[in-house]
A and B are shown apart, each in its own frame.
Chain A
Amino acid sequence: MKKLILSIALLASSIAGFSQTALYTLDCEKFANGSSASSANNIGYDRAQCWGLGSFSYVTTPALLLNGSYSGQSNQASNLSITSSWIKTPWIKPGSANITFKHKISANNGTIRRIVLSYIAYDANAASAWKEGTLVRFDSVSYAAGSLPLNLTNVSFALPAAIRNSANPYKILISFVGSGGNSRFIVDDVFVDGIYVSDPSSAYCLPVPTIQDADSDGVADADDAYPNDATRAYNNYIPSSGFSTLMFEDLWPTTGDYDFNDLVIVGRQNIVLNAANKVVEIKINMKVKAIGASFHNGFGFQLDGVNPSKITSVTGTNTHNAAWVTTSANGTESGQTFANIIIFDDAFKILPSPGGSGVNVDPANPYATPAEMNITISFNTTVGEAIALSNISFNPYLIVNQERGKEVHLAGFAPTTKANASLFGTGQDDTNLTTGKYYKSKNNLPWALAVPAEIPYPKTKIDFLQAYKKFATWAESNGSSFSDWYLDLSDYRDNTKLYTAP
């Protein structure tokens, strides 16, 4: 019979749908993981757990302590207002046991010293953000001058019948009041019987809400970018808004004219996570905007450190059977240590020239609408195979004029397995695989630039420094000045040097 009753109780608890955790005793000793015990850290921890501690502090003075290394201390109890100094529990569903705590008065002075107990009902319609409803006083204890409790004294108060074992949330308010003198209440080991229902992730510690979650993936619909798709939950965009801009010089390993328009691409990656924070897919929206070159360059990127086997499929690339493009069944380039995606093998087949030299770099030539591409890379999300957002690091590169081994990366980014290592250190290149100096010239200049915004690029043969007037100061100050050089601010650009679409 006892087993049957226990089973029914467990079933009822399970149906209720929340864990039954009792409110802990306020002993002033707890502190957050990773921090250390101190008056500030300990009271911060209790506040973070939704205890209200108004005009109340934690002390370590040995003569004042009631138990352990920390005790609570009220303000000088010379004010009869119940909001002058107080302890307030988190929202709880009250139990039935008595409220108990230790206390004493810090010094033998004061006309009256009194502890007042009240309860506060939850009121979802209350105007206050804390949603506290009616306050009801239900008990108190008073001390007069000459009979102040100067030594540890235990007190016990019965929970009022009106809230005992209630299914509704309440707070218990313990106020420390009085008149005359400057002595304070010292308090410790405050026990209030109840089930904890406050939400510490709520700015006002409101009761744990009922979360709407249509796909039952554990992410609230309000936060879920895919509320009806349990396999997806969050979008993480790079850049966070708009597009980023990639600009290449393609004469590597020799230097060029530094107009950085031999290939100009703008793009935005969306790294989609599931509710377990694993990468489900990467969606790339990009546009090829300009080709200031005669070379038929390709473009791709490596996901540094990501094994190609983590990817299940790639769609949206646009290659035209160039002999050097070899892909595996999952769409990644074969023969690579890390996952490489060849987006296109010839820029001119993506953005054909409408006439004249290059595309969209000389205002005298016809304009071509930038070519948009949408690439989706899907990932294995099975346990043990799935990867996290922190594992994603894009390493884009240009492939020079159909020569697979001739890659041009951003400065400081490593070549892929298929880069021709014999080219390193030739021409003006000073790449050193041993020291980790990648794609910088002998005077430390790059062959590619990336900017976390969509910016215009120089017209053909216009030196980048002519167009972006703060760039030189940024670079030569080692980044300490004008880190916003690419923004369209007063005197930052010479628009006459920049290509603009007609």
Chain B
Amino acid sequence: MIIFFTFGKLIAIDISNPKIMKKLFLIALLPVLLSSCKKDLIEKANLDTTQKVTTEFKKLNVNENFDWNSSSMVDFKVQGMQTLTTINRTLKVSSVAGDVTYFVSTHQMDQNLETKISLPKIVKSVKVSYGTLEKEVTLSSNQINFNFLPASTEE
């Protein structure tokens, strides 16, 4: 006889009864069986992702609109801002670290600009600088949008 406390009640089990013991054995085995099924599912999922890699170029299954280029022409849009005096400075688009320049030209601050820049597709953010103003811009819908409004909330 085993006595234990569960769900707020004292329960007594007669371990000499074979029917009760069989039920107990099945209940004890259940987590093992479930765990085994789970493992099978995980292994199947892993196989699915590794088995599908194509190894012959001619057998590639590619969408008909797939762009094979690793660079793309990105729209670069600058929203001009009216100024009290004419301000002409160098406008530059570079890597966030600033070590690679993607685009450089002169720009009058009160003018809008729309042009295209060739960027590797792995580039997700750029730094845009004008004079000594600098902003980090994240590409959105293959566009770089820049304006001269300060990010500062104080000065």
Contacts and interface: CB of A to CB of B under 8 A. Distances in A.
Nearest to A450: B69
Interface in B44-101: 52-58, 60-71, 73, 79-90, 95, 99-101
A449 B69 CA distance: 7
Interface in B109-126: 109-110, 112, 115-116, 118, 120-122
A258 B57 contact: yes
Contacts of B118: 238-239, 452
B60 A33 contact: no
A390 B101 contact: no
Contact of B55 (A199, A437, A450, A472): A472
Contacts of A255: 58
Given A33-B82, A234-B104, A479 B66 contact: yes
B62 A445 contact: yes
A239 B149 contact: no
B134 A393 contact: no
Interface residues of A, number: 84
A258 B57 CA distance: 6
A275 B63 CA distance: 43
What is the predominant secondary structure among interface residues of chain B facing chain A?
loop
Given A240-B101, A241-B100, A475 B85 contact: no
A126 interface: no
What is the predominant secondary structure among interface residues of chain A facing chain B?
loop
B56 A465 contact: yes
Interface in A28-44: 32-35, 41, 44
Which of B63, B105, B112, B116 gathers the greatest number of chain A CB atoms within 10 Å? B105
Interface stretch (A102-110, A184-192, A200-208, A293-301): A200-208
Interface in A386-444: 388-390, 393, 410-412, 437, 440, 443-444
A250 B69 CA distance: 18
Interface stretch (A15-23, A138-146, A307-315, A323-331): A15-23
B84 A484 contact: no
Given A19-B86, A235-B104, A465-B55, A201 B121 contact: no
Contacts of A449: 68
Contacts, number: 196
A417 B90 CA distance: 38
Interface in B22-61: 52-58, 60-61
A393 B73 contact: yes
A444 B73 contact: no
A205 B83 CA distance: 13
B133 A203 contact: yes
Contacts of A208: 85
Nearest to B132: A203
Nearest to A55: B154
B150 interface: yes
Interface stretch (A45-53, A150-158, A333-341, A369-377): A45-53
A483 B82 CA distance: 40
Which of B84, B86, B112 gathers the greatest number of chain A CB atoms within 10 Å? B84
Nearest to B121: A483
Interface in A58-81: none
A443 B62 contact: yes
Contacts of B60: 443, 445, 465, 472, 475-476
B152 interface: yes
B148 to A, nearest CB: 5
Contacts of A48: 81, 148-150
Nearest to A413: B69
A437 B66 CA distance: 11
Contact of A476 (B54, B95, B147, B149): B54
A196 interface: yes
B131 to A, nearest CB: 3
Given A24-B84, A241-B100, A476-B62, A202 B133 contact: yes
B82 to A, nearest CB: 6
Interface in A192-250: 196, 199-205, 208, 218-220, 223, 233-241, 244
Nearest to A244: B71
B21 to A, nearest CB: 53
Contacts of A393: 73
Contacts of A203: 131-134
B85 A484 contact: no
A436 B62 CA distance: 17
A32 B147 contact: yes
21 contacts: A34-B147, A35-B147, A47-B152, A54-B154, A196-B84, A199-B131, A200-B148, A201-B131, A204-B132, A205-B155, A219-B90, A223-B106, A277-B106, A437-B64, A443-B62, A450-B70, A452-B71, A463-B55, A475-B60, A476-B61, A478-B63
Given A202-B131, A452-B71, A463-B56, 13 more contacts: A21-B84, A23-B84, A32-B81, A32-B82, A44-B149, A199-B131, A201-B109, A235-B104, A238-B118, A240-B100, A443-B60, A445-B60, A479-B121
The 5 closest A-B pairs by CB, nearest first: A201-B131, A258-B57, A223-B90, A44-B149, A390-B115
